[in-house]
Amino acid sequence: MIRVLVVEDEKPISDLVRMSLQKAGYECTCVYDGLAAADALEKERFDLVLLDVMLPGVDGFALMDYIRPMEIPVIFLTAKNNLDDRVRGLKMGAEDYIVKPFEVLELLARVEVVLRRYNKLDEVLRVGGLEIDTRSLTVTRAGEEIPLTAKEFELLLLFARNPGVALYRETIYERVWGGDYMSGSRTVDLHVQRLRRKVGWEDRLVALPKVGYRLEA
């Protein structure tokens, strides 16, 4: 399982990030200052660090110097949104720089991009009785393969990596088809209906009126 260290001194934000990542299948450890982060990094193995800049004790930029030799990818998660700070963070070696406030879905997408860049994403996902192999692009239930189109597989993967998250039709269309969603389009709904039947998720993949869909965790 992918292990993420969240270094954030505002507990409500830390809790939100932790719950969101856990729902998406990641294992999280939360610390609230720079020294505690350094201790955690010495004692445990992590695949990714989400790092605030303004921290008690040792700030995020100083901690970045400590993390860089470990070759662990870092995403800054901070309220410091001026250009100089963003450039400084990226030049120090951070993979991304997310400014608060942020949308949970955007955070999860950026985490996924960085983990994919480092080949750290789980290659096989097991969700709702399915085994989803991202290498061979196959889906099986109880050892029997379920044939899906390319778009159906991408749609399934999007839901599988975001369990419990309300996904707007606009977001689904953008992530799976690319481009802008046109109001009134039935593309997303028709694909979701077919996917439900094929994988047996009629009760698990629920419609949210005027919003989109959510995979029940």
Grouped pLDDT means (10 residues each) for the chain, 217 residues: 92 92 86 94 94 91 91 90 85 91 88 86 83 90 94 92 86 84 86 96 93 90
Bond prior to 147 in cis (omega within 30° of 0): no
For 166, which DSSP code? -
- 0.75 cut: is pTM over it? no
pLDDT of the residue at 122: 67
Instruction: Return the C-alpha torsion angle 75, 154, 28, 19, nearest 10.
Output: 100
Domains and CATH numbers, the chain: 3-117 (3.40.50.2300), 124-215 (1.10.10.10)
Burial class of residue 205 (count of CB atoms within 10 Å of its CB; 0-12, 13-18, 19+): buried
